[in-house]
Amino acid sequence: MLRPITLAALFCIILTAINTSVFGWDETGHKITSYIAWQRMTPEVRAQVIKILLEAPEDSQLATFYMGWGSRTEEARKREYFMLTSTWADIIRDRNFAVRYKKYHKGNWHYDDTFWSAVNGQITVLPRPEDGGQALVRLNEYDKLIRGNASDAEKAIAIAWIQHLIGDLHQPLHTSARVTDMEPKGDQGGNFFLLTPQGTPRNKQENLHWFWDSIVMRNHPNSKDVCDADYIDPRAQEIMKAHPYDRVQNRLAPGQFEAWVRESLTSAQRDVFSADLKRFETPSEKYKKKALKISEERLALAGYRMGDLFNQAFAAGPVTVPAPQF
């Protein structure tokens, strides 16, 4: 006879099932970033953000992901809900939910590309096509919206997009379209840069964009198939310890979204496409270690910036940030 499953365990199972079935490649990174942001947010701001998210339009299904039951604390449930909403912009890619997909999915909102080429080490910025991505435009718009007189339903959608957009824009290849003889119209953020040998079947190919998107999960796999509290939270805490707020505070440039994008682009040009990266070859161990270190710092910066943004937008008075929960 099977032993009864506790409510807490059942919650973990549900989250795992959701994650496996509909999320894309960057679920781990987005949730880590939102966990870090949550640690920066004041209790009052956390409560306000959750209240607004639960007022999301019914057809967005954003509010349905909140699990208001179980043996875990209310704070834990709200934190995990906030982490989950950062992936909503990827959840709505699922065409099986046609109404939600048609109304809310926006494929070109996930990146903001600068087109560039490098010849003999000299970088040249090239003209941008009519649509090189809308992430920066939308982040600016939604930042203004949540500070204005919009309804809570509108602000809920904006908050979820802000969470996702900040995460995406801190992945260097979400800001970069490298132009080469092989990719005269841009490499789509490294998607055309293959790391597997020429002739590898399409279903077994690995590309540079995938390499950077999935870097945390690949280096720290959820091999025991545990829920977020046992997988995401400890990893996010390790990143915060390695990159504490006080150490990076002078780099945060609050509200300067264009500067954040330039920072990511510079990393793409300098770090992602470094001299030791070879097309059709698996990156070296040195490159892999460097990429993981850079990615973890990018996640920390994104989380701190997100938390500070929500504090600035929703705090009624002076902001006193609670000590991180490690």
| DSSP notation for 187-208 | -TTTTT-B-S-TT--GGG--BH
Confidence (pLDDT) at 296: 97
CA 259 to chain CA centroid, Å, is 18
> What is the domain-level CATH number for residue 45?
1.10.575.10
Q: Which residues constitute the domain of residue 215?
A: 7-314
- CA distance linking residue 94 with residue 211, whole number of Å: 23
Residue 252 has pLDDT above 50, yes or no: yes
Residue 3 has pLDDT above 90, yes or no: no
Tell whether 18 is covered by a domain: yes
Confidence (pLDDT) at 15: 43
- Joined together, the tokens standing for residue 220 give 């720290």
**What's this model's pTM, rounded to 2 decimal places?**
0.91
Nearest to 10 by CA among 96, 94, 78, 77: 77
Tell whether 320 is covered by a domain: no
Tell whether 256 is covered by a domain: yes
Nearest to 240 by CA among 39, 10, 7: 39
The string of pLDDT tens digits covering residues 17-75 is 444 333 334 799 999 999 999 999 999 999 999 999 999 999 999 999 998 887 789 99
Tell whether 323 is covered by a domain: no
Cβ–Cβ under 8 Å, residues 206 and 288:
no
Domain count for the chain: 1
Tell whether 319 is covered by a domain: no
Tell whether 179 is covered by a domain: yes
As a dihedral over the C-alpha atoms of residue 13, residue 14, residue 16, residue 19, rounded to 10 degrees, the angle is 180
Tell whether 2 is covered by a domain: no
- CA distance linking residue 120 with residue 14, whole number of Å: 52
Tell whether 97 is covered by a domain: yes
Confidence (pLDDT) at 319: 80
